[in-house]
Amino acid sequence: MAKKSIPAPTLLGQHVAPPASPEDALLERVPNPHTDTDYMARFTVPEFTSLCPVTGQPDFAHLVIDYAPGRFLVESKSLKLYLGAFRNHGAFHEDCTVRIGKDLVKLLKPKWLRIGGYWYPRGGIPIDVFWETGALPKGLWAPDQGVAPYRGRG
């Protein structure tokens, strides 16, 4: 049986207009050159923004995405454009965080993935949202996400 070829990334090395919405964004993947090794990859997004679906006001979060790659890696430019597409997207914190995790799992089929969405206060209450695919592969180290709890004025 012939191996299916992976399409080459289409966004690299060229100017690309930001997508208008997450639905318009093109998340791309590339082959993992170390499929024989379990390891962790982390993306930290300290300035993630979306819109409140009720008020239309901006919401801000610090996202941390950890995953143990399987056959694929997410192409980072496409991830940056995809995440930026949430800037004009109205959704609750929980929806944004879990959707991003599920979209990455659908694309990559990783051995494991977790996402932490550390949202800044709305109405005086910070909302932190966490989602993961299941058990961490045996023997793999997953460091703390390193985002301090919100302390307000304390």
Residue partners of 62: CB distance under 8 A and separation at least 6: 44, 45, 46, 47, 48, 118, 147
* Contact criterion met (CB below 8 Å) for 63 and 97: yes
Identify the CA nearest to 122 among candidates 144, 91, 85, 148. 91
Of the residues 38, 52, 103, 128, only one is catalytic, namely 52
Angle (CA) 31-37-38 rounded to 5° is 100
Of the residues 24, 36, 59, 96, only one is catalytic, namely 59
59 is an active site residue: yes
52 is an active site residue: yes
Q: How far apart are CA 9 and CA 78, in angstroms?
A: 9
* Contact criterion met (CB below 8 Å) for 129 and 94: yes
DSSP annotation string for 125-144: B--EEEEE-SPPPTT-----
- Active-site amino acid positions: 52, 59
